[in-house]
């Protein structure tokens, strides 16, 4: 027997990233966007200095626990009087960051924007969110491989750049796909195939708990039992995911 599970967007990922990150506030400080009463917010490391008000640290960290979706980012830009106001709000309310290796290029793109060029800012933010999705694909698929190994499954296919993992234990197989969504989030697809009886359910439950113990937060949106032995139900996948699995 087999079971397929699909999740809602991953809500949080607290585990260390595979590459050094820099917060959006630090990037923007380098181009003068955030002359904001000496405010300095650091996403990673849980450090906060806000006019000396350490009592606000917990509330602000909780409010910034998850990155905004692209529609939310675009709505923030539309509501703001200019790009400076939009960026200050994004820094204060969202855990946006990017790889240090990409920071200089993104900073250069931002530095030449006219404060009233909202379309240009939206393009830059789309790129930042795309970088985050790529990183999450790599980190979440690699973490899933580590959790599967703890359950006795050996990764036979691991493509972090595509968010694809296939892990086996005898005839039992777990396939995990981290898929990018148009709104800037990522979701998990799990497939436990070749198990006897309800063992597929128990195994996926264990895998979910291990991922949660490692700092991943998500909710299962759908479950489907199946009798065939395809590693992934292609009808529930986007064309991009099907192509990655074939490759």
Q: What total number of domains does the chain contain?
A: 2
Both 188 and 100 in one domain: the answer is no
Both 109 and 152 in one domain: the answer is no
Both 67 and 143 in one domain: the answer is no
Question: Average pLDDT for residues 186-190, to the nearest whole number?
Answer: 97
Could you list the residue range(s) of the whole structural domain that residue 121 is in?
A: 21-134
Confidence of residue 55 (pLDDT cuts 50, 70, 90): very low
Both 175 and 110 in one domain: the answer is no
- The 10s digit of each residue's pLDDT in 79-119 is 999 998 998 888 887 778 888 888 888 888 888 889 899 99
Of the residues 99, 115, 134, the one at which a domain ends? 134
Q: Residues 6 or more apart from 6 whose CB is under 8 A from it?
A: 187, 188, 189, 190, 220, 221, 222, 236
Both 28 and 130 in one domain: the answer is yes
- The 10s digit of each residue's pLDDT in 130-185 is 999 999 999 999 999 999 999 999 999 999 999 999 999 999 999 999 999 999 99
Both 125 and 160 in one domain: the answer is no
Whether the CB-CB separation of 231 and 175 falls below 8 Å is answered with: yes
Both 154 and 234 in one domain: the answer is yes
Of the residues 100, 134, 168, the one at which a domain ends? 134
User: How confident is the model at residue 160, as a pLDDT?
Assistant: 96
Confidence of residue 243 (pLDDT cuts 50, 70, 90): low
Both 206 and 101 in one domain: the answer is no
SS3 238: coil
Both 61 and 92 in one domain: the answer is yes
Indicate if the pLDDT at residue 236 is higher than 70.
no
Of the residues 134, 166, 187, the one at which a domain ends? 134
- The 10s digit of each residue's pLDDT in 22-53 is 888 788 776 665 543 333 333 333 343 334 44
Quote the DSSP letter at residue 8: P
Indicate if the pLDDT at residue 70 is higher than 60.
yes
User: How confident is the model at residue 50, as a pLDDT?
Assistant: 36
């Amino acid at each position: 027997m087999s079971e397929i599970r699909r999740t809602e967007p991953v809500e949080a990922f607290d585990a260390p990233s595979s590459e050094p990150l820099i917060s959006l506030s630090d990037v923007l400080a380098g181009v003068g966007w955030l002359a904001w009463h000496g405010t300095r917010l650091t996403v990673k490391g849980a450090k906060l200095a806000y006019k000396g008000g350490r009592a606000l640290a917990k509330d602000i960290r909780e409010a910034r626990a998850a990155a905004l979706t692209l529609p939310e980012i675009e709505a923030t830009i539309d509501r703001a009087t200019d790009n400076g106001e939009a960026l200050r709000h994004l820094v204060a309310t969202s855990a946006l960051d990017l790889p240090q290796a990409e920071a200089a290029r993104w900073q250069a793109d931002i530095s030449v924007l006219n404060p009233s060029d909202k379309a240009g800012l939206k393009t830059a933010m789309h790129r930042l969110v795309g970088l985050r999705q790529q990183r999450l694909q790599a980190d979440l698929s690699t973490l899933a491989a580590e959790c599967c190994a703890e359950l006795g499954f050996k990764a036979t296919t691991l493509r972090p750049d595509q968010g694809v993992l296939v892990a086996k234990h005898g005839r039992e197989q777990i396939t995990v796909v981290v898929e990018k969504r148009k709104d800037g989030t990522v979701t998990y697809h799990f497939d436990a195939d070749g198990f006897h009886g309800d063992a597929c359910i128990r195994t996926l439950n264990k895998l979910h708990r291990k991922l949660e113990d490692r700092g991943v937060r998500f909710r299962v949106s759908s479950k489907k039992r199946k009798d065939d032995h395809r590693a992934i139900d292609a009808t529930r996948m986007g064309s991009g995911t099907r192509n990655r699995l074939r490759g």
